[in-house]
Amino acid sequence: MHYPWWYVPHATAPMLIAAISVVHVLVSHYAVGGGFFLAVETGHAYRTGNRDYLGYLRRHARFFILLTVAFGAITGVGIWWTIGLASPLATEVLIRTFVFGWAMEWVFFVVEIAAAFIFYYYWGRLAQKTHLTIGWIYALAAWISLVLITGITAFMLNPGGWIESRSFWVGFLNPQFVPQVIARTGGALLLTSLYVYLHASLSIKDASLRNLVASRSARPALLGAVMITMGGALWHYFLPASAKAILALAAPLNILMALIFALTAVVFVLLYLGPYRNPGWLSPGFAAALLLFGLAAFSTGEFIREAVRKPYIVYNVVLGNQILPDEVRAMRASGYLESGTWTRAYVAERDPQLVVGGKIDEKRLLALPKEDQIELGHVLFQYHCNDCHAARGGYSAAGRLLQGRPPAMIRSLVEHLELSHFFMPPWAGTPEEAELITEYLASIAPPRPEGMAPDLNANVEASDLTPVTTAAEAK
């Protein structure tokens, strides 16, 4: 563990990344699709000489800038903030691997911002052709920024041949790249139409103009839904085996997968029956329901995308608990507390008697008083487990997950984490440290709920279930 761990009560620090990311993608996809919408529709309005439609598009451009340039940009920076705080090692690896990918994305952001402001503030003051060209520059720059960031986020799920080659381009053009670009481009088109519908339904009084907006945006939305389905199927095909297994195994993800299919289907049907076949249906209530369904489907998809990476932050490169897979063997030999910069410093300060010759003497750990063992077990929990588990209560709380388990079973689970649950990282400490964390976990796990029949273990001592030996005892 190279960095200090940030303890966020109940939620766990990585959940903050998830929260901000979900909010951000709901706006950032609109920032991409909205560019195409404004460029295509402004061109159509110019060609047909539809001044009312042009007026609406100008108002929409203002709404678009207010939402995407301000809120979208800040939440994007917010993701940077949170990944550095909650996943510092993974962020370090990603930034050093893809710094030029991010730097290129930044250039396209500059182009986007300049284009967006000139497109809006100089509306009616530029020649139509120039105005449209700038609209298209925005749309293309925004889409390229989507492509660039997708290369990096897709890498996190399946880095492909990068593990061997360490090549920027091999990592960027990973197996997940094309599927996710297709799905995200489709998502951008679909989500944009849903934003447009809500905005138009609230701001356009004239029924014929509202119908025009409804019918013009229906085809891109339906195309987007098809692209999401195609990209999603390819995404699933190119998932690593572990990610497919998690999808098949985890009940919450089963439910979420069913939910995402149901929501996408509902959105598709509503789009077909509503704006495509019956543009007149576009009322604020209908548009709000459509957008809510769309946002729910999107959020669910993003959550699933994050969840299937377990136990990694970057597949096979950085484990969720901020250690490198290559470090696990050495940490098992020298100890988790000794191997972590901040855990070692904590122990040296709190229990200097444990440090012999500048290193933590693992054999002395179990000689500590019980409460000190539990405290060091708590340290191990914070650094080894808190990335995915709250302690007593909260997100995936370890105490609740272990409720009723006797210490021997907890100990066995700790030492065989990756074998009992393949989506968990392997235990990266010594047997003595496994005992410390077991003490801590047993102290926070509530007892088995009373009154459950049949109570087959009523008279069995917990230690009877599995023999427990430390390495020191074994020797």
Partner 1 sequence: MDAHMLVETTVPSGLPAPLWFVEFFKVLGFALHAAPMNLWYAGLVLAMLLQVRGGEHGRRFGSRLMTQMPVIVAFGINLGVVPLLFVQVAYPKLFYPATILMAWPWMAVIALLIPAYYGMYLYSFGLREGGTMSPLPRGAGWCAAVLFIVIGFLFANGFSLMVNVADWKGIWQGSNMAGAALGTGLNTADPTLWPRWLLMFGLALMTTAAWVVVDTAWFGRRESDSYQRWAPGFAWKLFSVGLAWFAVAGSWYAFATWPEGVSDAMFRGPLVVLTAATALAPGLPWLLLLLAWRRDAPISRPAAALVGVAQFAVLGINAVSRQIVQNIEITGYFPDYFRLADKLKAVQWSPLVVFLLVFVGGMAVVVWMIAQAMKASPELSE
Q: Which amino acid is at 408?
A: A
How far is it, in rounded angstroms, from Cα 406 to Cα 392? Answer: 16
Read off the tokens for 255: 């439910």
Pick from 59, 63, 73, 426: which binds partner 1 (CB under 8 A)?
73
The encoded tokens of residue 165 equal 């080659």
Residues ≥6 apart with Cβ < 8 Å to 82: 13, 16, 17, 20
Q: In this chain, which of 351, 361, 372, 375 binds partner 1, going by CB under 8 A?
A: 375
Asked if 211 and 279 touch (Cβ cutoff 8 Å), the reply is: yes
Residue type, 442: A
- Give the one residue of 17, 26, 31, 118 binding partner 1; rule: CB under 8 A: 118
Q: Which is nearer to partner 1, 96 or 475 (CB)?
A: 96
Q: How far apart are CA 464 and CA 474, in angstroms?
A: 18
Does position 460 interact with partner 1 (CB under 8 A)? The reply is no
Amino acid at 41: E
Please list every residue from 12 through 51 that binds partner 1, using CB under 8 A.
Answer: 13, 16, 20, 51
- Could you say whether residue 465 binds partner 1 (CB under 8 A)? no
Residues 293-352 that bind partner 1 (CB under 8 A): 318, 324, 341-346, 348-349
For partner 1, which stretch binds (CB under 8 A), given 2-10, 33-41, 209-217, 247-255?
2-10
Please say which residue, 78 or 426, places its beta carbon nearer to partner 1: 78
Contact with partner 1 (CB under 8 A) among 126, 245, 262, 288: 126
CB 119 within 8 A of CB 61: yes
Cβ-based nearer residue to partner 1, 393 or 404: 393
- Please identify, among the stretches 42-50, 92-100, 293-301, 442-450, the one whose residues bind partner 1 according to the rule CB under 8 A: 92-100
Q: Closest Cα to residue 352, out of 364, 341, 366, 335? A: 364
Cβ distance to partner 1 smaller for residue 270 or 380: 380
Position 391: which residue type? A
User: Helix, strand or coil for residue 385?
Assistant: coil
Which of 40, 46, 50, 102 touches partner 1 (CB under 8 A)?
102
Stretch 379-438 residues interacting with partner 1 (CB under 8 A): 379, 381-383, 386
Interacting residue with partner 1 among 71, 272, 303, 395 (CB under 8 A): 71
Task: State both tokens at 101.
Answer: 């990918």
Q: Which of 46, 63, 69, 265 binds partner 1 (CB under 8 A)?
A: 69
In angstroms, the CA 205 to CA 211 distance is: 11
Residue 370 sits in the site that holds partner 1 (CB under 8 A): no
Task: Tell me the closest approach of the beta carbon of residue 393 to partner 1, in angstroms.
Answer: 15
- Residues whose CB is less than 8 angstroms from the CB of residue 93 and which lie 6 or more positions away in sequence, other chains included: 314, 317, 318
For residue 361, the minimal CB distance to partner 1 (Å) is 17
Which residues, 224 to 283, sit near partner 1 by CB under 8 A? none
Q: Which two tokens stand for residue 299?
A: 């959020």
| Cα 228 from Cα 244, distance rounded (Å) | 18
